[in-house]
Amino acid sequence: MHIHGGLRLLEMEEMYQIHEAAMSLIADPGVQVAHEGALQILESRGIPVDHRTQRVRFPRELVEETIEKS
């Protein structure tokens, strides 16, 4: 455990667990995007979109590829 200025810094394993949980959540159940224009843009880029529920499911591979590029 690392303490810095009264704050506890996360261990690598904890960061990994948070990352994995986030990846799972944005893939399923996904993210609600309440903007039709944004839904159309995402769908045009091959991202699964359910227009009825406004739910976008971001594939893990796409998210990780985008993170790598940033």
Express each pLDDT in 1-23 by its tens digit.
667 778 888 999 999 999 999 99
Q: What does the pLDDT look like over 41-60, one tens digit per residue?
A: 999 999 999 999 999 999 99
Alpha helix (H) ranges present in 1-57? Answer: 12-27, 36-44
- Cα separation, 36 vs 52, whole angstroms: 10
Cross-strand partners of 69:
none
pTM over 0.85: no
What are the extents of the domains in the chain?
Answer: 2-69
Radius of gyration, alpha carbons of the chain: 16
